[in-house]
């Protein structure tokens, strides 16, 4: 005997580009996103009884995303995600929760003859600004923001020594190494009671994203890193300090290795230790370090 224990469905990989045009300044703002919207509720019979009467077609969900993007701001993405998620729960009586993920792709205005061009942009990397929004009937709106695929490297200022050693250990200690990673950082907001609550605090979202990105880059550069673990904790701790509405910060950082190449076999050419200049980038295997840092609960 079996039963359906969980179900949700929707539309994934909905790509949209919105162009906002200021008629006075002639300056354009472009925002390109990829949206996933999934809904859940009283939909079990569509799975167990082949009864589609409760199914809001995924094509309708796609159309809703485009229409609401036309009728509402898409920035900040936290607000647009909340508008979408809230819409599905409010529109359909049998839908009790909606889950929206938004990935915002980079388009950066570039300089022409010493001035930022009003309507020309370049894609300066694969870094994205990510948002996850869940709206549950009677429970409020949950929002998680993040940065993904921000690739960074520094050529010194990183060490790794004093680690546990046993019969399985071959790694040598180092006091100076290249450190590189693809930053995946997320921060979880306090629960929002309603869409109005999200709208009233919309200015906080982009400021928090800017702070998180600046803190990540600055700490990566300036920290005399004892390990990826120690550096990522400092990043998360600072984000919590400057954004009081955030409850948790998570980092997932792959350690992208660059190994020295021993060239001494060729005419005693020195390329290790203090003489190292040429390195071999390694793609796998790689270290993967994760952490979740939470705001300490106030003592009563």
Residue 28 annotated among the catalytic residues of the structure: no
* Other Cβ atoms closer than 10 A to 267: 6
Active-site option among 11, 62, 87, 144: 11
Distance CA 268, CA 186 (A): 48
Q: Reduce the DSSP state of residue 248 to 3 states and report it.
A: strand
The backbone region for 162, taken as left when phi is positive above 0, alpha when psi lies in -120 to 50, beta otherwise, is: left
Residue 186 annotated among the catalytic residues of the structure: no
CA-wise closest residue to 212 among 260, 177, 250, 181: 250
* Other Cβ atoms closer than 10 A to 225: 20
Q: Reduce the DSSP state of residue 32 to 3 states and report it.
A: strand
Distances from the Cα of 138 to the Cαs of 61, 111, 135, 195, 200, in angstroms?
22, 48, 9, 12, 19
Active-site option among 18, 34, 58, 234: 58
* Other Cβ atoms closer than 10 A to 143: 26
Strands of 220-282 (E only): list them: 246-255, 258-260, 279-281
Distance CA 192, CA 195 (A): 8
Residue 216 annotated among the catalytic residues of the structure: no
Question: Catalytic positions, please?
Answer: 11, 58, 257
């Amino acid at each position: 005997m079996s039963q359906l224990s969980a179900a949700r469905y929707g539309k994934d990989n909905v790509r949209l580009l919105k162009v906002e045009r200021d008629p006075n300044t002639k300056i354009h703002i472009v925002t390109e996103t990829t949206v996933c919207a999934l809904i859940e509720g009283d939909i079990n019979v569509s799975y167990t009884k082949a009864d589609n009467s409760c199914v809001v077609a995924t094509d309708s969900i796609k159309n809703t995303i485009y229409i609401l993007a036309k009728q509402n701001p898409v920035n900040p993405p936290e607000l647009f995600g909340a508008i979408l998620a809230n819409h599905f729960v409010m529109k359909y009586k049998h839908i009790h929760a909606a889950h929206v993920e938004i990935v915002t792709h980079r388009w950066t205005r570039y300089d022409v003859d010493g001035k930022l061009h009003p309507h020309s942009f370049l894609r300066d990397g694969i870094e994205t600004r990510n948002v996850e929004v869940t709206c549950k009937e009677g429970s409020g709106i949950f929002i998680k923001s993040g940065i993904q695929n921000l690739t960074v490297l520094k050529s010194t200022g990183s060490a790794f020594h004093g680690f546990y050693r046993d019969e399985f250990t071959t790694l040598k200690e180092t006091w100076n190494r290249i450190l590189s990673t693809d930053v995946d950082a997320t921060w979880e907001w306090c629960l929002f009671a309603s869409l109005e609550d999200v709208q009233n605090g919309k200015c906080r979202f982009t400021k928090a994203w800017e702070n998180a990105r600046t803190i990540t880059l600055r700490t990566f550069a300036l920290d005399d890193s004892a390990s990826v673990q120690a550096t990522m904790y400092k990043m998360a701790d600072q984000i919590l300090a400057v954004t009081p509405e955030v409850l948790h910060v998570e980092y997932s950082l792959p350690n992208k290795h660059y190994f020295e190449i021993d060239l001494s076999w060729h005419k005693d050419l020195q390329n290790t230790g203090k003489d190292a200049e040429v390195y071999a980038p390694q793609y796998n295997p790689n270290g993967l370090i994760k952490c979740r840092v939470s705001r300490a609960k106030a003592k009563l």
